[in-house]
């Protein structure tokens, strides 16, 4: 048996979780490939997908007010080079776009903070959430391919499947 511990973020992305979800999806891909390769040898490959777990990870995201200051204090060169034949009107438009971009970024970070707070409230201890699934994956004669170990993960995964990628991502962007 081969058992991986991943995250339900591998299957269902969350706002602000690009790096985390990408790393967990990589684990899912390895498990999927090994499952296909090892099947002929009778080796079962399962993945445990816990939901939010109490972790210092949640404290590492920058607060949106600090990020806003960092964005607005960037020199204009950080946005990109200005053509030498640019006129005053174009410079004003660029400044407006920069402000609009900064505001959109701050709004996104605030949404990430709200999502972070929700995830912290839902967080459980690793042992309480993963142990039953891990025991089943080890002991069962026919283990599941994936174990969503919390109800939140199951509901969110079902919603993701029901809505499809595009609609789910639009809903996620509004949260």
Quick: pLDDT tens for 156-168. Answer: 778 878 888 788 7
Q: What share of the chain is helix, strand, coil (3-state, %, to 5)?
A: 65, 10, 25
Distance CA 148, CA 153 (A): 6
Position 66 scores a pLDDT of 52
pTM: 0.65
pLDDT over 50 at 13, yes or no: yes
Task: Work out the average pLDDT over 22-47.
Answer: 94
Position 45 scores a pLDDT of 95
Distance CA 144, CA 91 (A): 58
pLDDT band at 34 (very low <50, low <70, confident <90, very high): very high
Position 154 scores a pLDDT of 76
**Alpha helix locations (H) across 39-58?**
none
| pLDDT one-digit tens code per residue, 73-127 | 554 444 445 445 444 444 444 444 577 777 777 777 777 777 777 666 666 656 5
Angle at 104 between CA 97 and CA 70, to 5 degrees: 85
DSSP element (H, E) containing 47: strand 45-49
Distance CA 34, CA 83 (A): 51
Strand-pair category, 146-148 with 45-49: parallel
Task: Work out the average pLDDT over 38-49.
Answer: 94
Position 27 scores a pLDDT of 95
Task: Work out the average pLDDT over 60-67.
Answer: 55
């Amino acid at each position: 048996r081969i058992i991986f511990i991943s995250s339900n973020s591998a299957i269902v992305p969350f706002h602000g979780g690009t790096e985390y979800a990408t790393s967990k999806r990589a684990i899912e891909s390895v498990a999927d490939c090994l499952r296909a390769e090892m099947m002929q040898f009778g080796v079962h490959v399962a993945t445990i997908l816990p939901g939010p777990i109490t972790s210092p990870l949640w404290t590492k995201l920058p607060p949106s007010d600090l990020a806003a200051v960092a964005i607005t204090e960037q020199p204009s060169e950080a946005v990109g080079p200005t053509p030498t034949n640019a006129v005053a009107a174009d410079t004003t438009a660029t400044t407006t776009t920069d402000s609009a971009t900064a505001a959109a970024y701050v709004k996104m970070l605030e949404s990430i903070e709200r999502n972070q707070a929700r995830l912290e409230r839902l967080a459980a201890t690793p042992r309480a959430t993963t142990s039953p699934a891990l025991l089943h994956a080890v002991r069962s004669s026919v283990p599941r391919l994936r174990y969503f170990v919390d109800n939140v993960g199951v509901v969110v995964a079902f919603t993701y499947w029901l809505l499809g990628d595009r609609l789910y991502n639009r809903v996620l962007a509004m949260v």
